Amino acid sequence: DYPQKNAEIISGQYGVNLLLVGVSLMFSLSHRGSSVKEEHLLSFLITLMVLQLMWMLWYVIRKDSQNSPVLEKDVQAGTSWLRGGLTLLALISLIMDAFRIGHFVGYKACLSAAVGVYPVIHAVHTISQVHFLWFHIKDVIKTSETFERFGVIHAVFTNLLLWCNGVMSEAEHFLNEHKRRLSSLGYVNGTLDKDDDPQCNCTTNACSTFSNTLYYLFPFNIEYHIFVSVMLFVMWKNIGRTIDYQRNHKGVIRTTDLVIGPILGLIAFASTIAVLVIYIMHIEDSVETRELAIAMFYWYGIVMLIFMCAAGSIGLLIFRSDNLPLDYSKNPSRKLDTDLLFGSSIGSWLISWCSIIAVISAESFPKYRWTNFTYSLLVILEKYIQNLFIIESLYRKQSVSEKDQTETRAEVLSVTGSSNLSLAPPYNGIINRAFEDQDKVCASLENDQEGNRQVYSYPRRLPEVSISAPKRRSAKLNKRRKALKNIAVFLFLCNISLWILPAFGCRPQYDNGLEEETFGVTTWTTILNFAMPMSLFYRMHSVASLFEVLRKV
């Protein structure tokens, strides 16, 4: 049997190569003269999905036959609200599959069979996968690891490929829309590519309804696949791991605390919908109205982002004012969340820096030139602050006084009691059972020595916190928590708003023309096609993370 590290590398390399085959197929598909056709890509995707289905079936049957009730679970992976959200996205994906089948039935005379088989398999795949995620995502696999590792990584990369496929279809649709608009405005003369549309007549009445509605459902399908692949990746990282049981603090969200945050957030949300509608309506009008619509978007964005920066900064100041130590215990899903947040910001940072350079060097003077500049700077700043806020929230230990409110004081002070042996917060274990339970000490000490130092210094501060002036301090903390909760809710709603805009077609980066002047149409379209999906994923991912923050503070 392979050592852990090697098994990881073997399966990881397999997964990456799977993705690269798919990506290469997509590249060749995007070239008109190529003999690679859509059905080849679809057949490849169908094969991958069928393989995943078989593996999931094998896994579930084997787990059931084993009947071992003491299976290890990673409580931090796939929280129930995340699974709930995924189920919703999966439902929309299923509706989309139904529409696709309808579309195929209408045009079946001139479409390849793969186009019809794909949505059927995709629907079966979606249903089975949601079932799998509900009941097995927390599993920590320990036996016959190498084969299961391959299965999980196969699932991760299959979903990632389905995501790429969705992103590509959407980008193509969007580019065609954009060209259609430009030609209706008289900018482009020439024929439009109509290769996407089937070459025969529809035999049912609903064909155009199907294909038009499809593009409103696409963004949800895309988010579904990327989230599934992130969750499965955490499962893969958990294979062979030994979990140290920690209490999972279930934050109760008391709605009475939440006033300002939700109100401001809902105002932002409502104005977003208004901006979206106005933008979509006016972008196809005359040049004058078009410029106004773009300028409006930037002004709206500036106001939103200033508020978001302010909220994030206040949150960071609150964190700085009570300098609690961070929690460095091992937690793959949190580490992945952090890395993804950081990594996916790169997409929109790149867009923003390109915009800034374009504004500075541009030779034309549209109305929105310097608002675009300010907007781009604020996008960079806002992501910078928001990342810091979310990451600090996720890594913070809970303060002792916060626990006082839900537990009796006696329990906190009786750290040697046997009643909280398995559920005690980490610092208990370190102080009292250092020599009795070595594994546990090591697990919570972890590899980070900085973390250690802080954990050890904790007990010295303990009396000060929980005895000297508990009442006043508790009130102060309560105020802080309220503020943090409101900030989290506000940012949550703002991020949903900023996801909706580009997801449903409000992309002034395509329409404003400044960047195309500096970078050329080809380069700029390539940059956008690469960075836009990352930027969309960033917003959705920060929505999920902010919900986690909201439950935690």
Instruction: List the interface residues with a second copy, window 505-544 (CB under 8 A).
Output: 517-520, 522-523, 526-527
* Interatomic CA distance for residues 553 and 542, integer angstroms: 16
Interaction between residue 202 and a second copy (CB under 8 A): no
Q: How many CA atoms lie within 13 A of 138 on its CB side?
A: 16
Please identify which residue in 115, 380, 483, 506 interacts with a second copy, judged by CB under 8 A: 380
Interaction between residue 47 and a second copy (CB under 8 A): no
* Interatomic CA distance for residues 393 and 382, integer angstroms: 16
Q: Which residue lies nearer to a second copy by CB, 81 or 187?
A: 187
Q: Which residue lies nearer to a second copy by CB, 295 or 394?
A: 394
Contact present, 249 and 402 (Cβ < 8 Å): no
Q: How far is CA 98 from the centre of its chain?
A: 25
Q: Which residue lies nearer to a second copy by CB, 452 or 478?
A: 452
Per DSSP, the chain holds a count of helices (H) and strands (E) of 19, 0
Q: How far is CA 239 from the centre of its chain?
A: 22
Q: Which residue lies nearer to a second copy by CB, 411 or 448?
A: 448
- Calculated CA dihedral for residues 493, 497, 498, 502, nearest 10 degrees: 150
Q: How many CA atoms lie within 13 A of 271 on its CB side?
A: 14
Q: Which residue lies nearer to a second copy by CB, 28 or 420?
A: 28
* Interatomic CA distance for residues 249 and 402, integer angstroms: 11
Please identify which residue in 42, 164, 228, 391 interacts with a second copy, judged by CB under 8 A: 391
Where in 406-435 is the site for a second copy (CB under 8 A)?
A: 434-435
Interaction between residue 5 and a second copy (CB under 8 A): yes
* Interatomic CA distance for residues 288 and 50, integer angstroms: 52
Q: What is the nearest approach in angstroms of a second copy to the Cβ of residue 15?
A: 11
* Interatomic CA distance for residues 286 and 551, integer angstroms: 48
Where in 72-131 is the site for a second copy (CB under 8 A)?
A: none
* Interatomic CA distance for residues 515 and 354, integer angstroms: 7
Q: Which residue lies nearer to a second copy by CB, 177 or 446?
A: 446
Q: How many CA atoms lie within 13 A of 254 on its CB side?
A: 8
Stretch binding a second copy (CB under 8 A), from 198-206, 296-304, 324-332, 481-489? 324-332
What is the maximum span of the chain, computed from C-alpha positions, in angstroms? 81
Two structure tokens written together for 109: 């005379």
Q: Which residue lies nearer to a second copy by CB, 32 or 250?
A: 32
Two structure tokens written together for 147: 């084969």
Q: Which residue lies nearer to a second copy by CB, 43 or 478?
A: 43
Please identify which residue in 325, 502, 513, 533 interacts with a second copy, judged by CB under 8 A: 325
Interaction between residue 395 and a second copy (CB under 8 A): yes
Stretch binding a second copy (CB under 8 A), from 94-102, 236-244, 249-257, 296-304? 236-244
Stretch binding a second copy (CB under 8 A), from 155-163, 253-261, 297-305, 321-329? 321-329
Please identify which residue in 87, 201, 242, 405 interacts with a second copy, judged by CB under 8 A: 242
Q: For the purposes of burial, counting CB atoms within 10 Å of the CB of 471, is it exposed (0-12), middle (13-18) or buried (19 or more)? A: exposed
Stretch binding a second copy (CB under 8 A), from 84-92, 96-104, 318-326, 421-429? 318-326
Interaction between residue 241 and a second copy (CB under 8 A): yes
Q: What is the nearest approach in angstroms of a second copy to the Cβ of residue 193?
A: 14
DSSP assignments along 474-492, one per residue: HHHHHHHHHHHHHHHHHHH
* Interatomic CA distance for residues 230 and 236, integer angstroms: 10
Where in 130-169 is the site for a second copy (CB under 8 A)?
A: none
Two structure tokens written together for 305: 């982002």
* Interatomic CA distance for residues 211 and 226, integer angstroms: 23
Q: What is the nearest approach in angstroms of a second copy to the Cβ of residue 448?
A: 7
Q: Which ranges of 415-520 would DSSP assign to H, the alpha helix?
A: 426-432, 438-445, 449-463, 470-503, 508-511, 514-519
The angle at the Cα of 348, spanning 25 to 228, to the nearest 5 degrees, equals 55
Stretch binding a second copy (CB under 8 A), from 24-32, 74-82, 174-182, 498-506? 24-32
Interaction between residue 30 and a second copy (CB under 8 A): yes
Q: What is the nearest approach in angstroms of a second copy to the Cβ of residue 391?
A: 6
Q: Which residue lies nearer to a second copy by CB, 10 or 217?
A: 10
Q: Which residue lies nearer to a second copy by CB, 133 or 354?
A: 354
Q: What is the nearest approach in angstroms of a second copy to the Cβ of residue 103?
A: 27
Stretch binding a second copy (CB under 8 A), from 3-11, 87-95, 165-173, 190-198? 3-11
Where in 332-371 is the site for a second copy (CB under 8 A)?
A: 338, 342, 345-346, 349-350, 353-354, 356-358, 361-363
Q: Which residue lies nearer to a second copy by CB, 144 or 523?
A: 523
Q: Which residue lies nearer to a second copy by CB, 334 or 480?
A: 334
Q: Which residue lies nearer to a second copy by CB, 484 or 503?
A: 484
Could you count the other beta carbons within 10 Å of the beta carbon of residue 351? 23
Q: How many residues bind a second copy (CB under 8 A)?
A: 77
Q: Which residues are CB-neighbours of 237 under 8 A, at least 6 positions away?
A: 332, 336
Stretch binding a second copy (CB under 8 A), from 11-19, 99-107, 163-171, 365-373? 11-19
Q: For the purposes of burial, counting CB atoms within 10 Å of the CB of 244, is it exposed (0-12), middle (13-18) or buried (19 or more)? A: middle
Q: Which of the 8 DSSP states describes residue 166?
A: H
Interaction between residue 377 and a second copy (CB under 8 A): no
Residues 389-399: b if buried by 16+ CB within 10 A, e if exposed: bbbbbbbbbeb
Q: Which residue lies nearer to a second copy by CB, 77 or 264?
A: 77
Where in 436-495 is the site for a second copy (CB under 8 A)?
A: 438-439, 441-443, 445-452, 454
